[in-house]
Structures are given as structure tokens and as C-alpha cells.
Structure 1
């Protein structure tokens, strides 16, 4: 607990003042559950095995202790920390997080992944780095070249370990860990803890602290009877998606939860720009400002409250009809607390959650803990929005007909009726009312995205269903190119090995890869036509199961088709 008897703060976790200043500047107000449990033992130097899904704040949970150790020890030539991640995308995200948190101390961070110029990576390694964030295949490549020096390594982090194993990186991980100092600190995070993860932990972690997030506290909570739904949307389209949902739902008052102060301020500005009456609420505001915001919401002069969890704690707004999670909450119990703000005392409530594709597993974790299904809906289309706006125009006109004194306007209608058909006059009046409500705005369709589900990834790695396999007799699927790999079953190659190599070395993710066919001496893999040359170039120096295969576009291999 902190000094005022409130919730745990970052200062209570043993972090140094330099890092606390950085977090305050970034707008982080309180640690997430995984950060509260993880940071103290990591600061003390313990090994750790943590079960936590994407979106729980685990990057900061391991990055902050790593940076704290750097503050104590200072910077040297070689890296002191190696973070292994399954994909290029995650390597970039983790590197950016280290840069944000470690900028004040001049932390030197280098992402290493396939598809990026290796010359630039070699130059950075030669100059000296503190933290290397790498995909396993590319890390092993640099270790083999002698360009990644692990002698001074103090910490190794395996992030999303289960996904790395699913992608066929088990042998690479074992080889990398074998090349690191025995007295290192080892940190392993995984969304699930299958026996294979336990096996790695037993072999490579020393008396680890075990942390499993997202069950006990939430199971003690009773989830309110609220209509709950979620919408899959890419990060770049989230403001537009939020506006679309608010237009469709037309809440009396809504609270929108964001993770940080900066996100609250940016979203408030964006929503006001779209014509909503939005107010921000976060811990960086004085009490007088907070009181003014709440007064506007309760009086109806504002209809959206955009807030952090800390700032919204303890609020009870009677007219609140909707809760929106702009991000999937960091833990299931946070979700329960948030949606509990509607549906009170018999009032109806609606909870909406915007889910980025990588956060889909966290949504499933919330469902397991709350024992309630959160329906994943399709985002409303432009046509849906137009229909809803027309419906609202009709409702407004109906209310006007039932309640208002319309007599003063009779002379206008009668004078127009002398010149135009009465139905035409009515249509023109409805058109003006519709446009005056702001309903005539141009809208663009928001692209649909698919969740990165385990089943979907597994299906792609196994080459899809029968239809995919039949495609090989007819050529690749539309928009796809087929690549030839000069390794097959005799080299122990499995679908996940090929997926792991491609996703680790190129800009493609597992879901971009199509059907896979493996013969004794070669393999065929479908990739998007536009990315084929990039994949070939990225895999030119890569190894798969210890071999460096020839990779090229498929020629006439029909006579060698696997049976």
C-alpha cells in the first residue's frame, strides 16, 4: 500500500526515482496486476515464470527492472539483456517500449529480426548496445557469426514463450540459452503453461518465482448483468470505430476507459473533433478540474467521460448507460470493475470493448474468469450507420409531433403547399432535419481484421483443410505465390518450422501464410504474391532446423508432388 493508504503505486515497487519520473511523464498512474506482482522479485534478481496474456502490461513488468539494473551497473560495450520474441512485430513493439522507458538514461536498444538490413544491425552491435530484442532465428544467426556477444549478459527474457514453441523455435531457444552465462537472471512469460513450457523452466530457471494472473480476484467478483460485446479493430482505426459505435448506440452518457493519461487526452481531443461533447478525467488533474468535469457530465452538458482506471475509481454516475473499453483491460478483474459501473440498481447497461487482433487471447481469458460469453460482433458498416441515423431522425420528428406546439410553422407549410406537393414539402423538411443533426457526414468503411487465434494459427501451420491441399494440383490460391524450400521431411521439417522461419525473418505474420505441403526432400509454402521476393531475400541467410535451404519461387515441380 502507498503512504496515503490507497492502491499500490509504482513508487511502492522499489523502482528508482529516475524511472518513476519517466512513468509519470508518460501518464502511467498505477501498475497493472502483473506489474505489481512481477517488478519487486525481478528488481531483487529472482528468476521468474509468469503466465500473462498480451495486453496485461508485461512489457513494462520486465523492462523496468532491467533498466533499474542498468542504472546500478552502468553501460558497457556488450549487451546486458537479451529479450527473445516470436515475431518481428513484437520485436519492434518491445524495443519501442524500452526506448520510451530508458530514454532518460540513454539506454541503447537494438531490435534484431529478419527483413531488416543486417549491415545496420552489425554496425549497431559493433558500437555497443545494452538491450537486444530479437527473434530466435536471427539471434542464433548473429551468435553463429560471432557478432552477438553474450558474455556480459545479466538477464534473458523469453516473451510469449508458448507462441515461440508453436512456431518451431524450441531448438533455437535451447541453443541460445546454452550460449548465455549460467549466473544470468532468466524471465519467462507465456499466455499458457503447457508441459513444454514447464520443461524449459525446469532446465533453465533457478528456483523461479511463479506468477499466474487473472483468476482469483475476478472469480470472487460477481459480473453485473450487462449486455457485453466486443469488436475487432486495427489500432489505426480505433478512433473511427469508437465514433461509429457511439453513433449507433447513442448513449445517454458513456465512460470510455483508456490506459494512460496521454491516451485519454488524445482521444478526448479526437472525439470532440468528431462533434461529441467529451471530457477527460485522469490523475494529472486538480480536484477542482475533476469536480467541473463531473458537474458537466451530471448536468448533461457533456455525454462522454474519457478516463483512466485510477481517475474513475469510486465514481457513481446515475445516468451512465454505456461503458467502453478502448483497450482490452490489463486483467479480468479490471474488466469486472469497469463494466460494474453500468447495470446498477436494476438499470440496463451496455459494455463495449475494442479489441486489437493480438489482444484476442486476453478477451478469451476474461470470458473464462467471468464465466460469461462476450459476443464478438461485426463493426457497423456505413450503410448500418446511415440507417441508424435515419432512425434517429424519425424518432426526433415523432417526438416533435407528439409534444411540440407546431402552430407557428403552419403558415410556412401552407404557403409552400400552394406551390409544391405536400409530400415534397414534408420530404424537404425531413432532409433539413436529418442534415442539421450532423447525419449527412461522409464516412469510410473500416477494414475488417481477424483475431490471431490459436486455432487459426494451427490451421495455417498444418496447411489448412482439404481444399487448401487440393489447390496444389491447380496452382496457388488467388493473390498467392508458391515458394520452394529445399528441405523436407527427411530433415525433420514440420509446418511450424516453416511458419516460424518466415514470420521470424520477414514482415509476414503467421496468419499471412497460406497452405503448406512437405515432401521428403522439399517443401512448398504459399505466401502473398506481393511479399514473395521479400521472403526469399529475408531467408537467404536463415537456417531452418540447422540447415540453410535454397528458397525460390516454385518452378515445375509437379513430377515431384508428395503422395
Structure 2
């Protein structure tokens, strides 16, 4: 493989060799300069080379592989079958990538279709029958269509594996092999992954030919302008977590916040509680129908909902530009997941905020995060009722000033004159302020103050001086395991990849954290870390495996 490193090269999309219509479209969309991975990936992909791109979320990799595909389509004449296949791990990412491809390719009339589980199969079949240029698919649904012969890959010239490490963690290795084997051997293949684990390298060696390898993390910015994420933890006893979150949100007043929970039931309960505090929250988790998930994302992206309460799996692949805050109402199962969560804010030089509401027993996990990232997590004090009252009054003052500055008050002069004719003018103004303050939620009863939990002293060493934890875990060496009983086995056609995929997709537990698997005729047993067991059980209950709804519990013999 030929390896190149991203460096500052010629600027401007026009100098990358792209079709002029694409360059004009990008200019119209406001894109001026390519990111490092776009500068390095687009030219070799246009030339037809295979490519491996190591890139994190937010580096612009979607455009890096989409634009060369569109450039190739701009030069083709007969377009009757799909010529490009993009494989992604989740339905949300499939929709997001398909939307981007359609947006960039609008002047070319490119036909793009996302296919994923949870959406009606017949609608996807009709779209495929009408003719599609680019298919963006999750591996499982792509295989379903291949078995029905509704997705034909014999004309495919380009295959992209996006978020390859995530797909493998979710148990899609065999599906990917089957799909790649069904495409022409002379195709062009591009693989994008945040990590380059041995499994990824094995796929690259088997399916890519003399690939160019690029490693890019983030678009470099001048010193002093680096993306910032202010990380703060509020440590409270478990029974005060919801009240603490409400107060912190009231104090922060986020324009758009993504709040992470561990389970579907926690998402639903927290969404209901936040709505009771006057917020406009929406829930997002795997138990929702696809049309409901689509509606939620439309509301959030349009700013009609300011809080999105989600599980890790449901939020995977989401990229919302106006996001200002990420909140960990529940800490994730691994440090990498924490890093991935907070990486959604603080981009392009903007300051983002990452908030964690933790229990005292989770302070060790916070220390592990600090060691892993080399960054401090500041411990904050939950705002008191008095502090919140002051903040709300200040916001009302700001709103009044802005309203006066905006003008258009003449329609109310007659009313004001009538009132001051019978009441004291000061009382009239105070009553108006009271109504405005109440309309903004300023009269919420916050109840008694929340007991303070004092964080233990950290000493003088910086996080960089501390020994790093074991990769991917908060717990120490040799994690305790729990055995989970799942009510389906060989008679239902269950295979290890079904169990790994279900646990990774529904519970968000990476495949590397799943230990031994035993499949009997009528049930299966899976070993998972003890601290993830209850979450896995709740996530799997009611899920369908091979068309059968299963139940999960702790193994009574384990």
C-alpha cells in the first residue's frame, strides 16, 4: 500500500479535478475550501485508485468519497443499474449520507436511494425498479435485497465501506464479505474507518488493490483557534440526577442539546420529565418506528425541538451543525464512546459544552476519561434555586431590551394609555414584566437545593502524567462477566453474528466487549461485562432475531 499524509496543498475544489458542475454546486452551497481528507482522497479516487482513509467523524469524509462518485457519474451515459454502493452501519447514517450525495449531485440529476431495515421493503423495491445510480445501504438490508434479486450489483464499479470499524463491531463482517463477493472483481473500493484494527487491515488486504492510505484526524486550525469543548461534571446522589439535570439546563439554556441515556425506557422517562419543565424534548431510540424517528430528526434540525434525548445506537452517525451541548445523563459503556459523544460539539473553532451528570460511584470513571484524553473535567456545583432565579430574571431583562430595540410597539400604545389612565404607570410596567417573566418559564418552582457531593482531591499531577487505562473500558483488569440467557437458538437459525449484531446495535456494546457465545437448539448464552448486563438485557427484550421476538434475562445457572 502507498501511504500519504495529509498536508497543506493547493486550495479550492476546482483544483482537485472535479467536474465543473460539482464545483459550481459546492460554491453555491457555501463550501470554499476542501478539508485535509478531501484534498488527499479526491484526486486518487478520481484516478480510480483504491483507498483507505482513517478519519474521525466531522472531518468531511462523506464528501471525500461522494464527490469522486458523482464525478464519475457525470461522465457516464447509460445509467440503468446501480454503479455505486456505499455501505454504512446504521439507518441514520444511511439517510444522512444519501441526503449529502443527493445534495452534491443535484445538478447531475443523480438518483440516490438509502436502503435500511425498519423501512417498508416494497417502497425500496419500487425505487430500485425505477432505476438508481447510488445505493447507500446497511449490510443486513442490502443482503435482504440481494436474496430477493431486487438489488443487482453486477454493474457496480465503486464500493465504499464507511465507518468500517463500527460495522465490524456490530457483527456485519460476514455480511460485508458476502456483499463484496457479489460485486465485480474489477471494482474500485474505498474503506473509511476511525481506527485501523487488525480486522480492518484483513479486509483491506483481501479486497483492496495497491490502495492509497490516508490518515487524517481533524482539519488543522491556527493555534489559539482549536475547537474547544468545555467539560463539566455534576456529581449528585442518584435520586437527585433528574433535578440536577433540569437546573443545569436552565442555567446553560442550550440552543440545541443532545442528551444521552443508556436505555430506551430511560430515554422515554427523561423526555417526559423534561417536557414537564417546559422544554421541547424529543426522544430517539431503536424501539421507535422509522417514520417517528424521521419526524424527530426533522423537528430537531429545524430547531422546533431544542433537546434530543437518545441512546448511543439511535444517535450513531448523526451530525447536527447547530448542536451546542452534549449531555451524559448516563455515562457510556466505554471511554471511546464518551470521546465520540463529546466530539459532536466544539467544531470549526466554535466552543462546545459537554456536561455529565454522574453519581458518586462513577467518579473513578471520570478519572479514567481524564487519563485517556489528557483533558481536565471540571467539577461543577449544581445551581441553587436563588442562582436560577437571578439567571431567569436576567434573561427576561435581555428579552425586554431586544423587544424595545426591535420596535413595532405602536399597536400597544393605546392599551398602555388606557391602563395608565386608571392605574399607576409603574404598576402597569411591573405587571407586564411579571407576565413576560412567567411566559418565559421564570416562575418555575425549583424546590429545595440539592445536597453537594464533594469531589475527592486530585493532587497536582496533570491527566497526561497518569497511567492510561485499558483501552475501551472504565473498569480495571479482568472485568467480571455476566451470562445472559436469550430465548432463541439453532432452531430459529441463530448464528453468533446475529447475537453480536443485536447486542451492538440495540445496546451499543462493541463487539470486542462481547465474550463467549454458546448457541443451543432452543436458546443462546452470551457473556458480557457485569456492569453492562442489565443494560443489555433491557435492550434485547422484545427485539426480533431472525424474525422471532426474543426475551433476555440473566442465566439462572450462571
- When the two structures are superposed, what TM-score results if normalisation uses the length of structure 1? 0.54
TM-superposed CA distance for 1:561, in Å, is: 5.9
Correspondence for 1:450: none
Closer/same/farther in 2, CA of residues 150 and 138 from structure 1, 3 Å limit:
same
Match of 2:64 among 61, 65, 68: 61
Count of matched residue pairs:
376
Contact map agreement 2:9 2:39 (CA 8 A) in 1: no
TM-superposed CA distance for 1:74, in Å, is: 3.4
The separation in 1 between residues aligned to 2:208 and 2:200, in whole angstroms, is: 11
Closer/same/farther in 2, CA of residues 327 and 382 from structure 1, 3 Å limit:
farther
TM-superposed CA distance for 1:181, in Å, is: 0.8
Q: Deviations over 1:468-498 (max 9, x none)?
A: 85xx7xxxxxxxxx86455699944574233
- When the two structures are superposed, what TM-score results if normalisation uses the length of structure 2? 0.54
TM-superposed CA distance for 1:499, in Å, is: 3.0
Contact map agreement 2:164 2:193 (CA 8 A) in 1: yes
Correspondence for 1:373: 375
Correspondence for 1:103: 106
Closer/same/farther in 2, CA of residues 46 and 26 from structure 1, 3 Å limit:
same
Match of 2:391 among 366, 389, 394: 389
2:157 corresponds to 1:154? yes
Correspondence for 2:533: none
Closer/same/farther in 2, CA of residues 174 and 392 from structure 1, 3 Å limit:
same
Contact map agreement 1:327 1:353 (CA 8 A) in 2: no
Q: Deviations over 1:243-291 (max 9, x none)?
A: 7159xxxxxxxxxxxxxxxxxxxx9x989xxxxxxxxxxxxxxxxxxxx
Closer/same/farther in 2, CA of residues 205 and 74 from structure 1, 3 Å limit:
same
TM-superposed CA distance for 1:152, in Å, is: 0.9
The separation in 2 between residues aligned to 1:92 and 1:202, in whole angstroms, is: 29
Correspondence for 1:510: 508
Correspondence for 2:520: 520
Note the residue ranges of structure 1 that are not aligned, 5 or more in a row: 233-239, 247-266, 272-305, 307-324, 340-350, 357-366, 397-427, 446-453, 473-481, 540-548
The separation in 2 between residues aligned to 1:199 and 1:60, in whole angstroms, is: 26
Match of 1:499 among 495, 500, 503: 503
Aligned ranges 1:192-271 → 2 under 5 Å: 192-214=195-217, 228-229=230-231, 244=253
Q: What is the SS of the residue equivalent to 1:8?
A: coil
Closer/same/farther in 2, CA of residues 386 and 100 from structure 1, 3 Å limit:
same
Aligned ranges 1:390-409 → 2 under 5 Å: none
Contact map agreement 1:519 1:562 (CA 8 A) in 2: no
Match of 2:120 among 117, 123, 133: 117
The separation in 2 between residues aligned to 1:326 and 1:550, in whole angstroms, is: 36
Q: What is the SS of the residue equivalent to 2:14?
A: helix
The separation in 1 between residues aligned to 2:52 and 2:386, in whole angstroms, is: 46
Correspondence for 1:551: 548
Q: Deviations over 1:398-423 (max 9, x none)?
A: xxxxxxxxxxxxxxxxxxxxxxxxxx
Q: Deviations over 1:230-249 (max 9, x none)?
A: 799xxxxxxx9997159xxx
Correspondence for 2:366: none
The separation in 2 between residues aligned to 1:133 and 1:79, in whole angstroms, is: 10
Closer/same/farther in 2, CA of residues 79 and 329 from structure 1, 3 Å limit:
farther
Q: What is the SS of the residue equivalent to 1:110?
A: strand
The separation in 1 between residues aligned to 2:250 and 2:160, in whole angstroms, is: 35
Correspondence for 1:352: 352
Contact map agreement 2:111 2:134 (CA 8 A) in 1: yes
- Structure with larger Rg: 1
The separation in 1 between residues aligned to 2:251 and 2:9, in whole angstroms, is: 32
Q: What is the SS of the residue equivalent to 2:213?
A: strand
Correspondence for 2:48: 45
Note the residue ranges of structure 2 that are not aligned, 5 or more in a row: 1-7, 235-248, 256-299, 305-321, 323-341, 357-368, 399-426, 446-470, 526-535
Match of 1:183 among 186, 192, 200: 186
The separation in 1 between residues aligned to 2:211 and 2:9, in whole angstroms, is: 30
TM-superposed CA distance for 1:84, in Å, is: 0.6
**Structure holding more helix per residue:** 1
The separation in 1 between residues aligned to 2:115 and 2:71, in whole angstroms, is: 23
Match of 2:166 among 160, 163, 166: 163
TM-superposed CA distance for 1:23, in Å, is: 1.6
Correspondence for 2:140: 137
Closer/same/farther in 2, CA of residues 215 and 146 from structure 1, 3 Å limit:
closer
The separation in 1 between residues aligned to 2:57 and 2:191, in whole angstroms, is: 14
